[in-house]
Amino acid sequence: MTSSPPQRPGLRRRPSTRIRIAIAAGLVTCMTAIGGAAWALDRFVVEHVELVSASAVEGAGAVATTTEAAAFTVTAETVGTGSDAALVTTAVLELDDITQLRSAFADDAYGENITELPSVIAEQVGASLAINGDYYGFRDNGIVIRNGVLYRDAGAREALVLYRDGTAAVVDETTTSGEQLLADGAWQTLSFGPALVEAGEVVDGIDDVEVDTNFGNHSIQGDQPRTAIAVLADGSIAFVVVDGRSDASAGMTLTELAEHLASIGAVTAYNLDGGGSSTMVVDGEVVNTPSNGGERATSDILYLAG
């Protein structure tokens, strides 16, 4: 009688080459997804504080600032008709000195992904009037000069520069530097865009511009809530916020916004962060209707001290 040979313990058939390749590919995909998610969280969510007290640095700067409060008027109007109608809130600032127009960072800290509600930032700095800024903290490039202090010198796009002599200009950041702009008298730089009005004329082709199309961003085209800043022909500055994404207000395209700004006398106008960020705060109260159903936290505001 014969018997079957004993089974060798622990011996298993190796998977085929095709199966092994599939398993390896799956592991790589899984690890890539996990790594990508971790990178995205670190890059776009986790706070990276580079400077704890920006106001202390600005206060120690060599730029003389005025303590006088600036006057301003706020109006709300409907622009357009029917389904294209948009509610536009405009604040016109009567500045005696450009240093009355200031910027503030969320939590008074400079860095990436540091955010707070615009009304909270406004309250912390005693602002009588404020709008959301350019959300500098969402990106790691662009020239950032705020209140006469250079925080970041990494030119990437078209920026608006407000100079200490009260003039403004749209500049290509990639052809200059923050140090040069500071030497030229820059008081604030805003790095979002695009420019909407230059020399009193609507800029051509702005409805084809995409800003920051990297991970986590969305198109800025079509009818959207908007925030803009404009220098008017009489030398005053306007903060303009357009409501959108609702039955009550359609929002505006970039060209519609530019045309509206030109119609109110804009010589230079520039697009800031919009969408759910578009917010205006007057004496502590939000006076427009943000599209998220409430304020969205942002990294910075432009404001007038109370």
Check whether residue 144 and residue 29 sit in a common domain.
no
Check whether residue 122 and residue 219 sit in a common domain.
yes
Say if 287 falls within a structural domain: yes
Say if 6 falls within a structural domain: no
pLDDT of residue 9: 38
Check whether residue 218 and residue 252 sit in a common domain.
yes
pLDDT of residue 36: 61
Check whether residue 165 and residue 301 sit in a common domain.
yes
Going by C-alpha positions, the residue among 296, 216, 210, 273 that lies closest to residue 43 is 216
Check whether residue 178 and residue 218 sit in a common domain.
yes
Check whether residue 72 and residue 24 sit in a common domain.
no
Say if 32 falls within a structural domain: yes
| pLDDT string in tens for the chain (306-residue length) | 444 444 433 333 444 434 444 444 554 454 455 566 665 556 556 778 898 899 999 988 756 677 788 999 999 999 999 999 999 999 999 999 999 999 999 999 999 999 999 999 999 999 999 999 999 999 999 999 999 999 999 999 999 999 999 999 999 999 999 999 999 999 999 999 999 999 999 999 998 877 665 444 455 789 999 999 999 999 999 999 999 999 999 999 999 999 999 999 999 999 999 999 999 999 999 999 999 999 999 999 999 987
CA 209 centroid distance within chain? 16
End-to-end Cα spacing for the chain:
105
Check whether residue 247 and residue 199 sit in a common domain.
yes
Check whether residue 21 and residue 87 sit in a common domain.
no
Check whether residue 70 and residue 198 sit in a common domain.
yes
pLDDT of residue 24: 46
Q: Report the relative pairing of strands 86-94 and 71-79 from DSSP bridges.
A: antiparallel
pLDDT of residue 8: 36
HSE, side-chain direction, 13 A CA sphere, residue 143: 28
Check whether residue 135 and residue 211 sit in a common domain.
yes
pLDDT of residue 268: 98
Give residue 24's domain range.
15-46
pLDDT of residue 4: 43
Q: In whole angstroms, what is the distance from residue 187 CA to residue 169 CA? A: 12
Say if 7 falls within a structural domain: no
pLDDT of residue 27: 47
Q: How many domains does the chain have?
A: 2
Check whether residue 96 and residue 27 sit in a common domain.
no
* Residue pair 193/141 in contact by the 8 Å Cβ criterion: no
User: Which two tokens mark 199?
Assistant: 């020399």
Check whether residue 124 and residue 150 sit in a common domain.
yes
pLDDT of residue 79: 98
Say if 5 falls within a structural domain: no
